């Protein structure tokens, strides 16, 4: 877990300092979600991002709806509002989507956010994802309840 935290911190600083190819939060695309708990990974369904309605939200972000599905045809689907940080000087969401900086996505403050464990929908207390080059597509942390003493590492891969 410590290794994941350090790689997130280093990757976040690198993402803010070195522009790459044009990037945008991929919308409508399925991504497989895994919780990374040390030596093992647990499959936790799939997520898709959909653009929110309206323009930027206060604080310099664009709002998206993240659907988190169990991966089973009749399984539950959870919804979480997330914010993608806009990069400096780009307050419009279309400009931000055409930007050069990898996406940083967080749970939208004060908005509903539900995820899935292997059995049911569960509230998400905190979610932070950073887009990465290659695999996985996103690396981050999720904390399901404020009473939880340990957040989980999250790896999100492009679905085959």
Domain residue ranges of the chain, discontinuous segments joined by +: 2-158
> For residue 73, what pLDDT is reported?
67
- CA 12-16-19 angle, 5° bins: 120
CA distances, 101 to each of 24, 40, 43, 113 (Å): 8, 30, 28, 25
H helix or E strand, kind and range, residue 93: helix 93-97
> For residue 48, how many other CB atoms are within 10 A of its CB?
18
> For residue 79, what pLDDT is reported?
93
Q: How many residues does the chain have?
A: 160
Residue 6 burial (C-beta neighbours within 10 Å; 0-12, 13-18, 19+): exposed
> For residue 16, what pLDDT is reported?
34
DSSP state, 88?
T
Is the four-CA dihedral 84, 87, 92, 97 of positive or negative sign?
Answer: negative
Taking alpha carbons only, the member of 110, 127, 158, 141 closest to residue 2 is 141
Per-residue model confidence as pLDDT tens for the chain (160 residues): 444 433 334 443 333 333 333 356 788 889 999 988 777 788 888 999 998 876 678 778 889 999 998 877 677 789 999 998 887 766 777 777 776 778 889 999 989 899 886 677 888 999 999 988 888 899 999 998 888 777 889 999 987 7
CA distances, 122 to each of 18, 45, 68, 113, 129 (Å): 36, 13, 11, 9, 18
This prediction has a pTM of 0.77
Is the four-CA dihedral 107, 7, 5, 42 of positive or negative sign?
Answer: positive
> For residue 99, what pLDDT is reported?
66
């Amino acid at each position: 877990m410590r290794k994941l935290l350090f790689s997130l911190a280093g990757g976040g600083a690198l993402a803010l300092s070195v522009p790459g190819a044009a990037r945008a939060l991929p919308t409508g695309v399925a991504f497989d979600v895994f919780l990374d708990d040390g030596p093992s990974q647990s499959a936790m369904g799939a997520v898709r991002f959909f653009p929110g309605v309206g323009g930027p939200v206060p604080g310099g972000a664009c709002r998206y709806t993240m659907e988190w599905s169990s991966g089973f045809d009749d399984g539950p689907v959870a919804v979480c509002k997330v914010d993608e940080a806009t990069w400096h000087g780009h307050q419009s969401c279309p400009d931000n989507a055409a930007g050069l900086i990898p996406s940083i996505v967080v749970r939208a403050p004060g908005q509903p956010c539900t995820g899935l464990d292997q059995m049911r929908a569960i509230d998400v207390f905190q979610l932070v994802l950073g887009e990465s080059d290659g695999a996985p597509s996103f690396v981050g942390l999720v904390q399901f309840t404020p009473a939880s003493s340990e957040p989980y590492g999250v790896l999100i891969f492009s679905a085959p």
